[in-house]
Amino acid sequence: MTLWILFAAALVAFAFWGWRNTRSATAFFTASRTVGPMLAGIGGTAAGLSAFVFVGGPGYFAAVGAASLWIVFSAPLTGALQCWAVGERVVSLARRHDCLTVPDLVAARFGEGWPRGLTALAVLVGAVATLAVQVKGAAVAGEVLLGVPGWLVAGAAVAATVLYSAAGGMRTGILAEAAQGVVMATAAVALAVFALVRAGGPRQAIATIAELRPELLDPWGGPGPTASIGLFLLFALGTCAQPHYLQKFLLLRDRESLRWLPAVMTGALLAVLTVWVGVGLGGTALWLRGELTISSPDQLAPALLASTGSRAFIIIAAAAVIAAVMSTAATLLNLVAAAVTRDLPQALGREPGPGLGAARVATLGAGIAAAALALLSNRPVALLGVLGWGTFTAALLPVMVLGLSWRGAARRGAVAALAIGPLVQLSAEWARTTGVLAVRWEPGLLGAAAGACALVMLSRPGADR
């Protein structure tokens, strides 16, 4: 109890520090562009990795086996790919046009009005869906790990994040995210080692799975080869379209910070992803041997921890999951606040209001909306995560990768891509859920492909002139 009181006091002090030191939109949305590669890399990775990794990842391994690792397989590429494909251009564009948000970047490239408005709308919808994943992840962890009502843990995590995010925006957000990233990486490695040791080591875990459910070791099992490669591509290219990753480029203090950013991001990412491989492999082996009982794949990681009986281990794991939830939520809350108070009004021809009051209220509203969505949705954590990721990919991949690098890209093509991509993705998602569309059709990629087609077809030389 004393620990919780100390933690709450530290949180309030941190939020107060943020409130006192955050006086401008530049400070609130980009931490005054003072961030170096270490902070941006660890914070960015923590923001990008959510409860999806700790709860959904091992669960997905239990459901489809090694085929789930095609998502993880994209990890070594994503840091450098982001910098190559979009980061360098984003940094350059942000400095020339003083961009504070992702819709600012799109407006700087394609003009005001529809490009900014549609980007803001995509950010808003995708961010609320992804925020809901965080709330759901916290609820699952709370129920199974700590044995308390899920809504209570989820509510506390969201309330704490809203407190420091509303007070200091990304100035407090990036510091908290970096600290949470360190907690996540340390706990992930510890949990992975623990799970594998408990299962008798990696060899024994693989032998158990090979004996009892050999199909789980097939890299092409589960959804099949085409769908597995689709997931690999979705998560490799999709990182270039995630606004919570893109935002970190806006925070960098100079262009040189890009040089070692991929190294930091890759190191942090792989450290955290050990939980997916280690707990997935070890936990699945224990489950198949009957040493763990789970009613759904999402319960694999929490059930493994609960079975240890070690209170300290359970608290470490809960801290990691809640850190993952809070780090992602802080950036997403900031993105929603920017979309609602800056980008949507600017798209409609209105200047953003003075001061940060509206942004702080919007941060609170986003937290409440996400909590409501999470508690009303019955979708598993992994599926909600893929849905949010897919919406960002479908909407933003064509304009961020193709639109920023291809000189021939025209405004009308960008507007069409921003509108068509998410519509196709959401329709495909619905069609796949109802069985109309085969599982190998990845909705996010389908939406991005449709958007890229629209961008290319409407941007033929001279189309805009």
Partner 1 sequence: MGTGWVDREGPSHHDRAMRRLVPISILLLIAGWIAASAYDLPTMAAVVAVLCIASACVGAVRGRAPDRRLPAALSAIFITILAVLLFLLGNETGGATGLVLLLGVMALLALLVPIVYALTFPTNRDPR
The region of 164-172, 192-200, 359-367, 398-406 touching partner 1 under the rule CB under 8 A is: 398-406
* Total site size for partner 1, rule CB under 8 A: 77
Q: Residue type for 401, please?
A: V
Residue 349 binds to partner 1 (criterion: CB under 8 A): no
Residue 343 binds to partner 1 (criterion: CB under 8 A): no
**Rounded Cα distance, 238 and 18, in Å:** 32
For tokens 């409130």, the residue is 19
**Rounded Cα distance, 108 and 387, in Å:** 28
Instruction: Kindly tell me which residue out of 73, 412, 423, 427 binds partner 1, with binding defined by CB under 8 A.
Output: 73
Helix residue ranges per DSSP H, 83-149: 88-97, 102-110, 114-141
Minimum CB distance to partner 1, residue 405 (Å): 3
Residue 342 binds to partner 1 (criterion: CB under 8 A): no
Instruction: Kindly tell me which residue out of 42, 62, 69, 318 binds partner 1, with binding defined by CB under 8 A.
Output: 69
Q: Residue type for 136, please?
A: K
**Rounded Cα distance, 27 and 315, in Å:** 34
Nearer to partner 1, 14 or 114 (CB): 114
**Rounded Cα distance, 329 and 186, in Å:** 20
Residue 423 binds to partner 1 (criterion: CB under 8 A): no
The region of 93-101, 160-168, 310-318, 354-362 touching partner 1 under the rule CB under 8 A is: 93-101
Nearer to partner 1, 297 or 443 (CB): 443
Length of the chain: 465
Tally of CB atoms within 10 A around 182: 14
By CB under 8 A, the residues from 171 to 230 that bind partner 1 are: 206, 210, 214, 217-221, 224-226, 229-230
Nearer to partner 1, 193 or 218 (CB): 218
Nearer to partner 1, 7 or 260 (CB): 260
Minimum CB distance to partner 1, residue 6 (Å): 38
Of 415, 428, 411, 418, residue with least CA distance to 394: 418
Instruction: Kindly tell me which residue out of 35, 109, 245, 444 binds partner 1, with binding defined by CB under 8 A.
Output: 109
- Are 251 and 40 within 8 A, CB to CB? yes
Minimum CB distance to partner 1, residue 318 (Å): 28
Minimum CB distance to partner 1, residue 414 (Å): 11
Residue 457 binds to partner 1 (criterion: CB under 8 A): yes
CA 191 to chain centre: 21
Backbone angles phi, psi at 437, to 5 degrees: -110, 135
By CB under 8 A, the residues from 227 to 266 that bind partner 1 are: 229-230, 232-233, 236-237, 240, 255, 258-260, 262-263, 265-266
- Are 246 and 400 within 8 A, CB to CB? yes
**Rounded Cα distance, 390 and 241, in Å:** 9
The region of 173-181, 242-250, 419-427, 443-451 touching partner 1 under the rule CB under 8 A is: 443-451
Of 29, 48, 110, residue with least CA distance to 392: 48
Residue 32 binds to partner 1 (criterion: CB under 8 A): no
Instruction: Kindly tell me which residue out of 30, 51, 71, 104 binds partner 1, with binding defined by CB under 8 A.
Output: 104
Q: Residue type for 402, please?
A: L
